[in-house]
Structure 1
Amino acid sequence: MVRLWKTTAAMLAGLSLCAAAQQPAVKIHIDAAHPMGDYKPVWNYFGADEPNYSYAPNGAKLLRELSAIDPATPVYFRPHNLLTTGDGEGSLKWGSTNVYTERPDGSPVYDWTITDRLFDNLKAAHVRPMVEIGFMPEALSPHPEPYRHGFPAKPDVYTGWSYPPKDYAKWRALIVSWVEHLHARYGADVDTWEWEVWNEPDIQYFHGTPAEYFKLYDITTGAVRQVLPHAIVGGPAATGPYPSEKKPFFHDFLEHCARGLNADTGKTGAPLDFISFHPKGSPQFKDGHVTMGLARQLAATDEGMRIVAEFPEYKQTPLILSESDPEGCAACQGPRNGYRNGALYGVSVAEMLARSSELARRRGVNLLGAVTWAFEFEGQPWFAGFRDLATNGVDKPVLNVFRMYGKLGGKLLPVTSTGALTVDEILQHGVTVAPDVNGIATRQGNTVAAVLWNYHDEDVDAAPARLELEVDAIPAKQVQVTQYRMDHDHGNAYTEWLAMGSPQKPTVEQIATLGKVGGLATMEDITVKKTATEPVRLKTSLPRQGVALYLLSW
């Protein structure tokens, strides 16, 4: 069976190469002489519903891998459920820390054991917390029953934890005590943390009115700032905003922070050191394959940036897309989510990161980061279709895209491609006819790094793109060129797992093979000789849904 699969794959690859030979080459030009300004990495944020998985063995391993992508770029981790009541055992869409309970007389009992374990683990991995302050402890919820949900058997996850506090004084005291403890334990490190109030308060994550969220925001940020006067606080972590829905929540929150009455201080305005919102796509599953919804995701990104730009006082405030994903459910699985096992998820992230930064430059706003809401799930089947970065300790292809982006740095360079779509074309139509064959490039010292992709919304077989890459303004006569690749056949443990027969109990040897194959694959490592004034010219073939990284050093 494995031999037959490989033979069939080879035949299909051969047919695709023949088709590609009949297509005109895509010409990509990188101008290393005229930088566009500093390159700002935004890839370095990750998060998960399940905080307790972060210190499980596979979670701790993954955090170390993320931190190692680029030691010069700090990685942030944003977990839900940091204040949720429970025994500390994670499950899909659930986690808990049990920081707050009450004695029979109503006096508080604080227990930092689990949050200490979580933050200690982040510190050991050299990962910074993005502290999402939530959710409501059971003893402070006005509607505590039911409290722990039973997803996926019971899909209603918005239970007793999703309410504003019944006693704001006790809530405020909890936050003050927690932050005091964290400051005492981690010292000056907490000055680099980001503190975000709640998650998606405009939907069922918060069973309260907008005014109640604004009150929660004021009191919570006031409590944090009481302990840490220079703490980096922000929000509202709202959904979208999608231009077609015309929901006022995000705009009204900014208006409140700028000119509203602060429920904690009684003065005008609330602290806002970063602004967060959640653009998501909308894939469609039909005829056995998925068609991505990148246009919807980017439309929400652009709309959020447009709204922020309406406020002169916030136009340069850092923006964090504190969840930016192809769809809305990381813990869902099944065939419609199978694309998240392979190359399509990776290339869609490459496209999203570059286009989000492009939209920020166009709107004149300050994009700081885009949180990929994907981590890992403990005790789950291999390659089940979760939105995660690794499965049972084996890296998925998407992780190699982050490794590629981690090689970018220095100055952003102009890139032109005859196979590129404009961002307006994508916003209007998606990538549904021609693919987007495009790239992003930087120069740092004597190194040019370029991430190139061949992306299409529809996950169907297609001919690879023939690329002719030209890089100007490299004065050396000898240039070392290394190409790395993530596609169906490279840097892809999922393809290897399928070739093994999809084992749910792989052997030790098979796991070792998957781990090796799952790393960033080197396609070529060559020396190019030229005159000092000539550009570097390279040719390659990039499969549909493939991503390539070129490093040129001299």
Structure 2
Amino acid sequence: MYNLTYPFLTSMRKCTLSLGLSITLIGTTFGQNVLPESQENVHIKIDLSDEKGPLQPAWAWWGYDEPNYTYMKDGKKLLSEIADLSPVPVYVRAHSLLVTDEGPRAALKWGSTNAYTEDSEGNPIYDWTVIDQIFDTYIERGMKPFAQIGFMPKALSSQPEPYRHYWKPGADYNDIYTGWSYPPNDYDKWAELVFQWVTHSVERYGKEEVESWYWELWNEPNIGYWRGTTEEYIKLYDYTADAVKRALPTARIGGPESTGPGWDKAAEFLTTFLDHVTKGKNYVTGKTGSPLDFITFHAKGSPKLADGIVQMGIRSQLNDINKGFEIVASYPELKHLPIVIGESDPEGCAACSEEDYPHYAYRNGTVYSSYTAASFARKYELADRHGVNFLGAVTWAFEFEDQKWFAGFRDMATNGVDKPVLNVFRMFGMMGGQRVSVSSGENEEGLAYNLDNILNSSVRGEEQDINAFASIDKNTAAAMVWNYHDDDKEVAEAPVTLNFESIPADKVLMHHYRVDKNHSNSYQAWQDMGSPQNPTQEQSKQLEEAGQLQLFTSPKWIKIENGEAQIEFELPSQGVSLVRLTW
């Protein structure tokens, strides 16, 4: 049986766990709003001396479809906030950086830069103005490009017409796959474009800066985003990787950004790609293999409507990650390479609104935030299980300019106001150093929702997933605790007792932060105002304040005895707490 060493704890009703962890659980009947008379605490123990490995800031990665939102008003504001929440550089991935202008640059699932065109004689014309504007916005904020090489410029597309799409929510998603999604009509011209782009980046930002970026090719080439064959993508990768390395031998190049490997065809695509880079014949050099500095694939959940309510599908996302890690681990020569989950989200369409897709109604409230806490914690555990180098997980959610307030897109902010989910990332930003063990040790009856249970059946049924994730860094310890369930229902609060052990101080200052219905929740504040679509200046100010991370209690000094501290609180359904101790 797998030996659980990862610092998170799943707690439900009284149950046993043969992995050596035990926990006292609540007996709430899910869906009821009244606590049962015999309510028991959830006891969570955190041993700060039991370190499990470094806490890689895998959460510090973002992405979005519409690159031109980057330098717009709300885009710049949100990027500044994302940069400010992290002690390390945040990496940003955007689609369509090589797409040709046709009509307005910014629209849902569309963007363009006009970086490559040709004159009447077919000679290349390079124009880096818009790409520079995008990357400058990142660099000015201390962020770094996770530079996506794509999509196909019109002049290079083997099937350029029609080129521009005008997709809207509710339309057929396949309508977006137009001329930009086809292979090049000239692979050498494509390679020269890539070479010139990397060369220009070095000239503009400096060799050392560009060495810290990650360059990756395309997006989801195993579905409609790539209208070529698998072999044609592999050929494009060889030409692209060769061009990147010719421009900057120390640059990092990776792929293939395929869809979730939990789908057999996606797993086959990822495996075919990895087979090629390890032992296939290179299309450019004729030698064996291709440069590969990191590996990327995607992972998505699967929400649906069940009995009129939104029911999340965390199992689907975690199974994608589990299978992807398993595939990478099966290649001894690649197992050490960093893995970036290039899109890691509850589902697959950020630009699809709640109005047209009712099962996306989780996005404005606290279901999204508790799901984020619960799913990120398990990503680290899956990496430990497979022994792979988990570097990052890109949250594919940004902002949409000039849309209705809380329109139900998968985004971090609406009209410049932060949503509850962004505050979970602010919590992650206050964690660091080493992951430490989280457990409970009062009974031996078993654990209802350990990792394997969730991989098999998600978080369904009558009990909540009440877990923690903890870290220690110099003079700081932190524990993130969540109360998650797939079903978007409000149930009774769960009493939690958090026990810190091995605190290396006599006195600590506790800060307790909270995201729930009444804290760090601009959506609830907006609803309390009557859901105005034209808020007054004063209302907008109130919403901005409500969107910031809030303390649950006043900061408090705690005396430490025998290295221990005990903190008690109640955690609502879909709530997330961060308890942070400093000394």
Relative to the length of structure 2, the TM-score reads: 0.90
| Kept in 1: contact 2:512–2:577 (CA 8 A) | yes
| Kept in 2: contact 1:21–1:466 (CA 8 A) | no
RMSD: 1.6
1:247-282 deviation line (CA, Å, top 9, x unaligned) = 411011001000011111111101111000001111
Secondary structure of the structure 1 residue equivalent to 2:409: coil
| Alignment pair present for 1:270 and 2:283 | no
Summarize the alignment of residues 44-443 of structure 1 with structure 2, pairs less than 5 Å apart.
44-71=60-87, 73-86=88-101, 89-152=105-168, 154-155=171-172, 156-187=175-206, 188-242=208-262, 247-334=267-354, 335-417=358-440, 421-433=449-461, 434-443=463-472
Secondary structure of the structure 2 residue equivalent to 1:62: helix
In structure 2, what is the Cα distance between the partners aligned to 1:211 and 1:246?
Answer: 14
Question: Which amino acid in 2 is paired with 1:379?
Answer: D
| Aligned twin of 2:8 | none
Secondary structure of the structure 2 residue equivalent to 1:312: coil
1:147-190 deviation line (CA, Å, top 9, x unaligned) = 11111165310011001101111111111111111111111211
Do the aligned partners of residues 16 and 458 (structure 1) sit closer, same or farther apart at CA in structure 2, a change above 3 Å counting? closer
Shift of 1:243: 5.3
| Kept in 2: contact 1:454–1:545 (CA 8 A) | yes
Do the aligned partners of residues 245 and 536 (structure 1) sit closer, same or farther apart at CA in structure 2, a change above 3 Å counting? same
| Aligned twin of 1:7 | none
| Kept in 1: contact 2:48–2:436 (CA 8 A) | yes
1:1-54 deviation line (CA, Å, top 9, x unaligned) = xxxxxxxxxxxxxx9885176421111100012211222120000000000001
| Aligned twin of 2:507 | 478
Question: Which amino acid in 2 is paired with 1:422?
Answer: N
Secondary structure of the structure 2 residue equivalent to 1:32: strand
Shift of 1:129: 0.2
| Kept in 2: contact 1:417–1:438 (CA 8 A) | no
In structure 2, what is the Cα distance between the partners aligned to 1:115 and 1:148?
Answer: 19
More divergent stretch after superposition (395-404 vs 335-344): 335-344
RCO (CA 8 Å, sep 6+): is it higher in 1 or 2?
2
Do the aligned partners of residues 396 and 170 (structure 1) sit closer, same or farther apart at CA in structure 2, a change above 3 Å counting? same
Shift of 1:417: 4.8
In structure 1, what is the Cα distance between the partners aligned to 2:309 and 2:34?
Answer: 24
Question: Which amino acid in 1 is paired with 2:276?
Answer: H
In structure 2, what is the Cα distance between the partners aligned to 1:423 and 1:275?
Answer: 24
How much identity, in percent, do the aligned residues show? Answer: 50
Shift of 1:316: 1.1
Do the aligned partners of residues 17 and 339 (structure 1) sit closer, same or farther apart at CA in structure 2, a change above 3 Å counting? closer
Relative to the length of structure 1, the TM-score reads: 0.95
In structure 1, what is the Cα distance between the partners aligned to 2:493 and 2:181?
Answer: 47
| Kept in 2: contact 1:420–1:438 (CA 8 A) | no
| Kept in 1: contact 2:33–2:491 (CA 8 A) | no
| Aligned twin of 2:17 | none
In structure 2, what is the Cα distance between the partners aligned to 1:371 and 1:24?
Answer: 37
More divergent stretch after superposition (226-235 vs 418-427): 418-427
| Kept in 2: contact 1:321–1:370 (CA 8 A) | yes
| Kept in 2: contact 1:64–1:126 (CA 8 A) | no
| Kept in 2: contact 1:132–1:198 (CA 8 A) | yes
In structure 2, what is the Cα distance between the partners aligned to 1:194 and 1:24?
Answer: 48
In structure 1, what is the Cα distance between the partners aligned to 2:36 and 2:163?
Answer: 56
1:416-439 deviation line (CA, Å, top 9, x unaligned) = 258872110100110002221001
Question: Which amino acid in 2 is paired with 1:41?
Answer: P
| Kept in 2: contact 1:49–1:79 (CA 8 A) | yes
Do the aligned partners of residues 417 and 465 (structure 1) sit closer, same or farther apart at CA in structure 2, a change above 3 Å counting? farther
| Kept in 2: contact 1:158–1:204 (CA 8 A) | yes
Question: Which amino acid in 1 is paired with 2:139?
Answer: K
Alignment size in residue pairs: 539
In structure 2, what is the Cα distance between the partners aligned to 1:22 and 1:400?
Answer: 33
| Aligned twin of 1:40 | 56
Question: Which amino acid in 2 is paired with 1:395?
Answer: D
In structure 2, what is the Cα distance between the partners aligned to 1:414 and 1:358?
Answer: 12
In structure 2, what is the Cα distance between the partners aligned to 1:230 and 1:90?
Answer: 33
In structure 2, what is the Cα distance between the partners aligned to 1:448 and 1:484?
Answer: 14
In structure 2, what is the Cα distance between the partners aligned to 1:181 and 1:534?
Answer: 55
Q: Which runs of 5+ in 1 are unaligned?
A: 1-14
Question: Which amino acid in 2 is paired with 1:107?
Answer: N
| Kept in 2: contact 1:408–1:449 (CA 8 A) | yes
More divergent stretch after superposition (332-341 vs 74-83): 332-341
